Each structure stands twice: as structure tokens, then as C-alpha cells.
Structure 1
Amino acid sequence: MLWNPAGLGRVAKPEVTLSHVALFEDTISDLGVAAFPLRAWGGAALGYLRQSSGGFERRTGPLDSPTAFSITQTALLAGWGRSFAVLPFPARAGVAVKLVNEKIDTFGASGSGADLGFGVDPLPRLQLGLLVQNALAPRLTFRSVPQKYPRTVDATGAYTLGNPKGLHAVAALRMVSTGDEGRRVGGGAELWYDALAAVRLGADGRGWTTGVGFKLGNFHIDYAAMLQDLGTAHQMSLRVQFGQTREELEALIQRGIQKFTKDEARRLARAYVASAERYQEEGNYPRAINDLEAAALWAPDDVLVSRKLQELTSQVEQTVQRQILERTTLLAEQQFKRGNWIASQTHWRSVLDLEPANARARDTLTRIEHILAERAEQEAAERVAQAQRAERAQREAAEQAAQARRVERSRKEALALVAAGEAALLEGRYDDAAARSIAAFKVVPGLPEADSLREKAQRERALALKRLLAEGERFHENKLFQKAIDSFQAALALDSRSQAARDGVARAREAARPELGAAARKQIEKTYYLAVDAYLKGRYQEASRHLDDIFKLDLSDENARKLKEKVEAALKLEAR
């Protein structure tokens, strides 16, 4: 914690460190630190540091008797460090807070501060560290002027040579910068033999340092002698660790049994038990059970090992069952909230299989059964309604299809009438064309083709009427009165309300009336009666010849004209 609080991130098991330094001129320094791991949160430490110097004399005047006094400095320390995996290589960071107290004779002052530490391992054998001591510097006020601790930046690097499990050496380089004192560079090396004993040698600008270290299990003893101008300082430290790390237990287990004796087997069994306890603390129950089973094999008569194995196995089974129960309950609740009743029902039944007395599962299953029953009724009703809708839709579709067929037939019929009307127009039968358009309208109201035919028939009729009237006038001017009469009568046939046609017929007949004598008139009268007699007896050809004889004498004979129309009509019917 003093050298670099980032190192607390590497604390693997609880430990206590005691250090005593005997300096020159009755100056001693004592340190006590307790460190402990925090698993995923790194490691923490608490410490106490005390340094005292005695043998000082104080006089009020030159001739006064001296009075002895001492200087004492103490500090309460608390630190935390953690390793991080944010970089592509291992990294550490830590902080140490301190509450310092300094006493000179009868005067004392206190203050607080903090140190920051960082460390990285860019290479497997290379370690770099940075300590900012007094990053938050304590301020001590003895009388009126505060005294601030100087800030120190300490950068270090160490490289390991050789096999760390055998003979290996560590070379270190250090550079320290303190306030206005400038920089100080130092270095050193230590030689280890199988991590059991070490020899150390180092130097900086103030002198040389040498020392040795020994390690026996969890006990570490170190001695150092600092050779300086003012004398030699001696430092003794003892570090005691508690328990075994997983790596140490695995190494012990890998070495296996050394002697095939009961004591050696029990020792190995204890190692397996300790390893199992570590795995159990970490929540790795399968590895813990494996190690306890191995311990039971090495110590089959150890009741404690067997009991631990049974308890852990039972605990794991209960834990697994509880986890499965909690997970299944959670899934059942989630599916219930989402309305997935079948899935929720399946999960709740699994909960009942795991815990038959689970009242919540029973109540929820009852609710689900009611919901499913209601849903089944709703689905049945919906199926009936759906079938009815389908039947109704089918009927409507059939009706629509029939209606479409009827519409299509009507359209075809109407178009056939329109086609017949078009043919009648070509033959000049305008009334027939108009009648066809009206009939088409009755079959398909609003049919565009029928409307077009009607307009066309009206337009053609008007043109024909105009043409016949003009033709009758030309014939009348040329004294072709019979042709004029025929044209005007044809115009009347197109439009019986045409006054111009009526007037034209009357004018042409009047102009065509000859000056007949009494004999001619008697001949016409006799011939007319012969025509009437033939018509009434159904001899239409004979009646037509008699009427033609009358027209040779008098084209304007109205009675003969009317009878002629009837005869022609009868001939047409007879021809059909």
C-alpha cells in the first residue's frame, strides 16, 4: 500500500505485514498492514505507520539546562486497488487515503491526503508502475503557517529473467521526482531460488542497499541494510498470509501423493477440501463437488468429508431445483402476461411437478382453464359465425354472378337491337331504327350505344326529310307532278306532322289535276269500283292494276291514292 496501492488488485488471500526499521540517531519506523481480497472488486488494506526520533534537546537560553524532546509522526492508512481488462494487457489502479498526525515536542498538527497508483504489464515478464504520492497533499498547521507535504512522482519498471519456478532474477529501475528536489534515479536486482530465498542489491543517489529474503509457505521474512552517509539503517519485515490460493491448491494437488501413507493421503484430501471450499465460494459447484469426491476417495473414512459432499450435493440439487423453479415460474408469468395461455399452462404444470404444494400455480392453472374454456366457446361461436358469413358471402357471390350474367345477356340483347337499328338506318328505315334504340334503352337503361343510335336516327330522319322536301320542290318546278307527289308523300311517311310535306302534296295534286270529260270521269268511277271489288275479294294484284289505270287518267284522284296504299300494304303482308 505504501509502495503502490495498485498492487492491492493482486491480493489473492488475506495477509498481515509487520515492518520495523532502525534508522540512525534513535530514529525508528514501524508499520503494520492488513490486506484482504475483495474477489471481483480487487483488494483492500488497512494500515498504521509510526516514525519517531528522540534525543533532541531544547533550551530557552544559552545557559539554561537542556530539556529532551522527541518528534513523532503517525498515519492511519486505508487503500483499495483493482485489476482491469480495458487494455489489451493487464492493468491495475489503486488509491490510498491517509490521516497523518505529527507532533514536535508539545506541538501537534493533523491532516489528510491521498496517493494514486497505477500499474501495467505490457509484456508477460515486464511490469511498469506509477505512484503519485500526496496527489492530495496533507496540510499541517502547527501555529499559523500551514505546511504542505511535497508531491512525489515515482515511476518504476521491473523485468524478470529466467524461470519464475526455478532460479530467476528480477531487474528493476526507479525514477523519483519530489517537489523542488529534482529527480533521483536508482536501480537494483534480486536473485531468487525456487521462490524460497532471495538475495537483493540496489543503489540510488543516497547509497547502497542490500538484503536477503526467505519464504516458507505463507511466511515471508525479509532483511535489508541501507548503507548511507549518516550510517546504516536496518529493516526487518514479516509477512504472514492465510489460506491457500487456487493456484497453490492446484499445484499441491498436481504434485499428488508423495508417500503412500495415510497421513499423506489425508494431507492431499485436505487440499482437495480446501479447493472445493474455494470453488463453492465462487459458485462453481460442479468443480467443488469433483474436488470433494476426490477428497472422499483419498480419505474414505473421514466422516466430515462425506458429510460435506452430501450437504453440497443436496445444496446443489436444491439450488438447481430452485433456479429451475424460479426460471419456470418467471416464464409462466411472462407467457401469462402476453396472453400465451397454452405456453403458460405448460410452464405452470412444470412448476407443480417441481413443487406440488405451490398454491399460486394451482390458482393460475384454474384461471387458465377458465380462460381456455371461454376462448373455446368464443372460437366455436366464431367458427359458426364465420361459416354463416362464408355461406352468405357465397350466396352473395352467386347472386352477383347471376346478376352479372343477366347484365351481360341484357347487354348483348341491347347491342343486338342497336345493331339491327344500325342496319335499319342503312336501309332508310328510320322509324324502325328509333324503335330499336328505344327497345335497347328498355333492356339496358342508359346504354351509350342506344343513345347514339337514337341521335343518329333523328339526325338521319331530319336529313332525309329535308332531302325529300327539296326533291319534291324540284319535281314540282319541272312539272313532274307525280314524282313531286311521291317525294312529298315519302316525306310525310317520315314525319306525318310535316306541314310542308302536306302542302307540297296538295299543290302537286292540284297542279296535276287534268281537264276530264264526263266519259273519262265515268270510266274512272267504274274502274275504281272494280278495284274495290277486287281488293275486297283478295285479288290484290288485280286491284293494283285497276288503280294504275285510274292514275293514267288522273294522278290526283285521292280515293284511288288511299286505296292504292291499302293494296300495297296487303301485298306486303301476302309476300311475307
Structure 2
Amino acid sequence: MKSIRQIALWLALAATLASGTALASSDAGRESQFSIGSGVRPLGMGGGFVGLSDDASAVFWNQAALSSLDGQEINLMHVTLLEGSIYDVVTYVYPNPKLGGFGFSFMRLGTGDIIRRQDWNDMGEFSYSTWQFLVAYGRTLEGGYQVGTALKIVNQSLDSKSAYGVGMDLSFYKNVYKNLSVGVLFQDVIAPHLRLEDATEITPTTISAGIGLKKLSFGRGFEHNVGLSLEKTEDRSLKLRVGLESVYHKYLALRAGYDRDNMAFGIGIYYQRLHFDYAYKFLDGLADSHRLGMTIAVGMPVSEKLRREKELESARGSSLILEDRRRQFHFFKELGDKYYRANNLDSAYAYYQRATAFNEEDHDVRNRLAQIDNSRNILLEKARLSATERKAIPSSLDAYYAQAELFYSKGSYAAALDVINEALDMEPDNQKFIALRDQIFTARDAEIRRMTDEAVRAEREGRYADAITSYNRILELSPGNVAVKQLVAKTGTELHNFQLISKGAELFSLGNLSDARRRFEEVIKTDPDNVVALEYMERINRLMKESTELEVLQKDEKVWKIYLNALEYFRNGDYEKAIELWNEVLKFYPGNKNTLNNIEQAKLRLQSK
């Protein structure tokens, strides 16, 4: 690669030196009085800056490049021309990484002390000047293409006469490969019309196209920039501008170029945020031209701003992720507490386990998990002892009656009825046991009616888990009860599918996709058109193919910002906006677990409002 760069540099040098003779012939067409250009640095390189345009002079050479400048600059230029004529330029640029690049430039060409003569008599002196003020803007589009424009107000004054006109430039710019950039400028595409008395002057349109090679690093301590432009003005032949700049250790620059008709040379000195430039151009048959300039860097460079913004965004992301982990932990802990209070230990255990994924060190959750494990062991031991005790029931009917009453008082209707049935097997007409059995039937039926009402109400309010709990409790109370059998017969497959869907949804929310899929497949076997099961199956199939972790989002700067913004909306209570942004994330990463879980939580928060 080094040899290719060296060849490119030597070709640029050869073109610079050879073009002096190749394009030295002049033509008689008109051109803008501001065709000298802007910026001492570009002029020292022959003005081959349309494809380079990496400083404040881009306001003149290629406005599209304004959006890629690295900071604010004020550029001053002073040029001496023949017969005391002076050409001055003041330029200010303000690039913004989000809004684009803005630029303003005032350019003035003038001469004074012109002797007024009438009939060979000296009638005093007068002056001539022309100036233009440019307001420029450049923006980067998708794919790295840059476009720009400049609106210009032009004035021409001769003695006491003055005229104004308005014009516009249009430009394009693109960094095509590493250090290589190209640009096109349509100058005065809307041409200013200046009318002084009966004479009207129309600025001709100029089209320029160029390439730039930037920061070619070879030669110890040197960086090289090469610019080449072809320029075509109406009624004039094609012109060449080409130049080379070599910068040594970023404090001394040497420049050479060919500016359409003559050679130009320049030098630049860099001191902290100040740049001092000088350029010299040979003019055939006229006094040579000296150009002086100074550039002042203002404010923080764009690259430094972006670096700091990225650091702040990273810190903000870390803070939001920590906050999100705390929120996720409390969400699952609260669910665990809810089911623990309802004595639904299996569900409580599952949600406490999910909570530990976000905070393994929380003592409350760890203690609850230990308590549930302990409770499970106690229940197993009780079940073992209960079976043993049932076998050791004394044959005495009084003991049977006392045992039945004990089960009844604890709400264990099925166990109480089992004891009564055993006693009635021994003495079928025992009225004491029959009365107790009727009493238990009445209490059990009342409990069934209450649980049925709760189940229907829960189902109507969308609390399906509570409804399933109530239905299961009814079946536990009276597995052979006619009313329960009628309810089961009425709901039949629908109730069974409902239970499967509820369990599948719970498994889906816990991330157990394979078990959830098995339950939804079982639903579809009996109800192929079940919309809920089909929707869950589609989501599971997609997730199982494209499941992603949070780290994947963090690597995608654009999507990561959307994700973090959604977290902020969630934190501020704007759940609908958070869901909207998280759905945007899912368009890029449809299987991201964190995003899907966040959407579910936001929906739950909306329902609880």
C-alpha cells in the first residue's frame, strides 16, 4: 500500500509541474470576479480544492463538505493585486454532527484612487468594488453522500452607482474510499444579475469536479494532501487546478500547485489553535500576487464532542441498565411475594428464581427460596404421616367422628368424607355421621359456589391464573360432584385448552420456550384455529430461531439508543411510548429477550393504571 501512495504523490507532483505548459494558453471568456477563490491554504495548492475541502474555505469550494469538518473556524485572507487592488475574505464555519454544517463568508474585491478624467482634465478620484456574502449549508445523507448549497448576495459599486444581485451554488461530496474523496461544484447555477445604468452583467456558471487524497502518511513525520480539480466556465476552455501539501509534524506545511494558468506556492505554520498561511502566485506580465491568511480554531472539535457524547451515552446506558436490572428484580420479587402470600408456592418459587437472575445476593429472596424448600419438605413429610395415620384410625366410631370433625374444621372436606364413608361402611344408619356428612355437603357446596363465582369473575376480568386456581380448587373439593362434572362437561376441551394456554404463557414469560411450545401444540391438536395458541407458536418459532441477548443490542449504536430511550420513557411512566420504541427495537432484533420482557411489563403497568 505504501508504494501505491508514493506513486500517487509523484503523479500529483508531475501533474503540478507539467500542467504549467499543458494548459498555459488563455482564452477570452468571462468569469466571476471572485474566481480567485477563498483561503490562502487552497490557493497555495493551486485551488484544487473541490474534492478536498477540509477547512473553512469549503464555503466557497464545496459547501457539501461542511458537514464533515471537525470544528468551528474563522478564516481571514488578504490578497494584493495589481494597481493597489485588494481582495479580502472573512469566513466562519460551524459544523454540527446532527444538524449539518453551516458557513458564512464575506468576499470583497476593490480598488481606489482611480483618476476621473474628462476631456483630459483631472476631475478627482473614484473607486470600484464588488462583494458577495455567502450563507452556506451542507448535510450528510444516507450512504455517506453529502450535499450542499450556498445562497449569495452580490453587490457591485462603481463611483456613485451600485447594483445588487442574488445567486446560488450547488455542490456534492463523497468520501469514496479511506483517504480518497470526490466533489462536484455548480457555481452560480442561479446567476446573479447586476445592472448599472444600461449595462447588465450576468455572472457565468462554472462547473468544477475534483478528487482529493487526504493524510497520506509516508516519509517520517509527514502527512500529504493532494487535490485536483477540472473547472469549466461558460464560453471558456477547460481549466486545471492541482496542488500538493506536505505537513511536517503538524506544525509546518509546504505547498505547491498549478492554478489554471500559473504556478503557486505556499507555506503554513501551525501553533496550537492558530494557523498562519502565506501563498505566492506568478502572474504573466503582471506583478506577482501575495496572499496572507490566518485561521482560528474556535470551540471544541466535533470529534472530541462525539467522543464525550459517546462516553456520556455509555455512562447513561450503564446507569439505565442497572436501573433496569433493579426494576426487573423488583418486578419478579413482587410476583413471587404475591404467590407466596396466596400459598401458591410453586409459582412463587419460579418467580423468586427469576428475581435471582437480576440480583443473586438479595437475602430476602434467598431466605424465601429456602423457606419454600423447607415448606415443601414439611408438606411431603405431612403427606407421608397422613397416610400412616389414616391406616392407624381406631375402629371406635367416636374416634372416627373426632377425626372427621378435625378434617372438616380444617376445610379438608374430601378427607372428612372419606372418614365418614369408612364409618358408614361399618354402621350405615348412624345418624350422627349422616348429619355430619350433610353438614359437610352444605359447606362444600357453598364453597364450590363461592369459588365458581370467583372463577367466573376472574375470567371476566382477565385474571386467568386466578380463574384456573379457583377451578382447580373446585375439582379438589368435589371430584365426583354432579355440578362440577356439569361445569367440566360444559367447558370440556375449552377449559383444558385454557389451562394449557395459561401454563404455556407462563412458561413463555419465564423463557422456557420448548415446554411452552409443547403445550400450545397440544392445544392446536384439538383446536387448530385457536388464535392465541397460533400467535404464541409463531412468536416461539421466531424467538427460537433469532433469540438475542442484550449484548447484541449494545453493539448496534442506533438500536441501542432506541432501547435506552424506551427505558427512560418507562421510568417516567410513559409506558405507551416505551412500548412503541421497544417495538421499533424488535423490528431489528425480533428475538431479544429483554425487549420482549420489557414490553410485557409495560403492558401490565398499563393494565394496572
Output the TM-score relative to the length of structure 1: 0.45
Output the TM-score relative to the length of structure 2: 0.43
Larger radius of gyration: 1
Between 1 and 2, higher relative CO (CA 8 Å, sep ≥ 6) is seen in 2
